[in-house]
A and B are shown apart, each in its own frame.
Chain A
Amino acid sequence: MDWQAFEVSIKLALLTCASLLPIGLALAYLLANSRFVGREVLEAAITLPLVLPPTVLGYFLLVGLDSNSFFGGLFVSLTGHTLAFSFTGLWFASIIYSLPFAVQPMLRAMETIEPEIREAAWCSGLSKWKTFFKIELPLAWPGIITAMVLSFSHTLGEFGVVLMIGGNIAGETRTLSIALYDSVLAFESEQAKSMSLILLTIALVSITIVFIFNRSRSRVVRL
């Protein structure tokens, strides 16, 4: 069992979730509450990682994060580090490929809130921020929990993009799924089995939590 890879995976998944919480909420709020030109294009772009082969996404991210590219170059000039084949690059890539798993549940949850509820809050004197924190956020909570659990599990299990963008650097970019692949290639079946079981258990437990949470929540709050 490669505990170092386990640590990298957990760290990556937690950091990605923490980053996706504000990013996902902002994007979901924007998509749920405003009508603007290009809204569909934005929604399609966010959803793209769901349908795109991970290697294709990984290729474009690799090109985009390369120190010769604008973004990669800018990052090098600011920090002195390259993004490609680094934990930071992997973190950035994880945010991109897990984005639909965060935004979609949040967006669906926000869309179920009747516009009148929001307007009633304004008419009751609540500012837009207060309405968001006191009304919209608690009502969208099941969607937000779902988004976080799905993002966590998906980041933990991603293979193609990680391989393309992070390579296989022990303690830096070697995640559990990459270590599992290595174990299989090296015929270390016991290690491969234990790592597969860990990934399977985490995925099963997290999805079960989502279902239990959503069910108990819908008993208390009927929208």
Chain B
Amino acid sequence: MLKVRLQQSLPIALDVDLHCDKSEILALVGPSGAGKSTVLRCIAGLHSVKNGQITCANNKWFDAQEKINLTPQQRRIGMVFQSYALFPHLTVNDNIRLALAKQQQNKQQKIDDLLSQVHLTGLEQRYPHQLSGGQQQRVAIARALAREPEVLLLDEPFSAVDKVTRRKLYLELNTLRRSLDMPIILVTHDLDEAAMLADKMCVIHQGKTLQQGEPEKVLYQPNNTDIARQVDVRNISIAELVNEEEQLTLKWNDYVLAVEQMEGFVVGQTVHWTIPPSKILLHQRVRPSRGEQENPVTGVIEELITLKGITTVLFIVDHANGQTLQMDVPEHVAKRNKLAIGVAISVSLLSDAIHLMHN
């Protein structure tokens, strides 16, 4: 298990607390300049901060108080750089050979195994400039694994390849990770990439780790509005908590919404709430409402856009001072219900999907 705690105010403000278990991928997400790469460089031993501790499998790699700071050579890390940083004057074979431990038995066999693991058999004698972006990334991963690292660090490894290759590499990494038993830290600014590949996600902003947890939880149930903004949460609104028929509910404009999550909130409190666009259900036109739907809300469609079979509908909610909500529906549902700009719709906001946040 890898545990990282870093604190410093200058020159770059850092307040980082994260951990990653064996065989787990932790995605470090945040905008450019948030400090993601700095954290990765600290773990690798390429950068050190004033306060903090980094331990890996009970070995102290860095402890500011005890003045322990192991060099990258002493840390046994495997690092894949954003630009891959392959040695340009060496062949694929020699790039990997250089990273093998001195005491490694039968080096050529090990190189062949690593190359077959990343599907590069047959390209041993090529130079980096003779490889495609995807192949270079695979060499970088093989080189990182050659050291039999205790932690694998991936710094935006997919940013230098085209979209088609990227999708292929996602699948490959997903397969490869099953055979790896070390913590893997993936730095990315792409939330979809993080959600797809990682077991855990950690949001970092201005050098501070804001929330760590399962992607589903971080993306749809952020702890506060700061995190919500970082993970691009749509449908953020303000409402008041009220008591309605002995039950705590959300008073949002003219609507009273039933909510399941209540822990930590009290009556009279003004809160931010959110609902994922996929958790807003469209009422079918052919089956008119009999008034029994969950949290019914009506509105008029202002805009709609379809991408890869999903139609995102932006609608202005009735009696809500012009506030809008976004809803995702399958394209065929949008077509069957004849959704178009200006059409009036009725929807349900699922109560178990409404998430309350502290300001």
Q: Give chain A's interface residues, CB within 8 Å of chain B.
A: 114, 116-117, 119-127, 134-135, 138-139, 220-223
Contacts and interface: CB of A to CB of B under 8 A. Distances in A.
Contacts of B86: 120
B23 interface: no
Interface stretch (B56-64, B74-82, B296-304, B308-316): B74-82
B143 A124 contact: yes
B89 A127 contact: no
A116 B144 CA distance: 14
A150 to B, nearest CB: 23
Nearest to B96: A124
Contacts of A127: 73
Given A123-B72, A124-B98, A124-B99, A114 B87 contact: no
A139 B85 CA distance: 13
Contacts of B279: none
B46 A119 contact: yes
A29 B89 CA distance: 19
Contacts, number: 62
B78 A123 contact: yes
B303 to A, nearest CB: 43
Contacts of A120: 79, 81, 85-87, 143
Given A122-B71, A139-B88, A134 B98 contact: yes
A124 B81 contact: no
6 contacts: A116-B82, A117-B88, A119-B85, A124-B99, A124-B147, A139-B88
Nearest first, the 4 A-B pairs at minimum CB distance are A124-B99, A120-B85, A116-B85, A123-B79
A123 B83 contact: no
Interface of B: 44-46, 71-73, 76-79, 81-83, 85-89, 98-99, 101, 127, 129, 143-144, 146-147
Contact of B87 (A121, A123, A125): A121
A124 to B, nearest CB: 4
B129 A122 contact: no
Nearest to B71: A122
A112 to B, nearest CB: 11
Contacts of A126: 73, 98
Given A119-B81, A124-B99, A127-B73, 13 more contacts: A116-B83, A119-B44, A119-B46, A120-B79, A120-B81, A122-B45, A122-B72, A123-B78, A123-B79, A124-B146, A125-B101, A134-B98, A222-B88
A124 B82 CA distance: 16
Nearest to A124: B99
**Residue from A120, A127, A138, A139 whose CB has the most chain B CB atoms within 10 Å:** A120
A138 B79 CA distance: 22
B163 to A, nearest CB: 24
B88 A122 contact: no
B31 to A, nearest CB: 22
A62 to B, nearest CB: 44
Given A139-B89, A222-B129, A122 B73 contact: yes
A116 B146 CA distance: 18
A117 B81 CA distance: 9
B88 A221 contact: yes
Contacts of B79: 119-120, 123
**Residue from A116, A123, A223 whose CB has the most chain B CB atoms within 10 Å:** A123
B72 A221 contact: no
Contacts of B81: 116, 119-120
Contacts of A123: 44, 46, 72, 77-79, 144
A122 B87 CA distance: 12
Given A122-B72, A125-B101, A126-B73, A221 B83 contact: no
A221 B94 CA distance: 14
Contacts of B101: 125
Nearest to A138: B89
Nearest to A127: B73
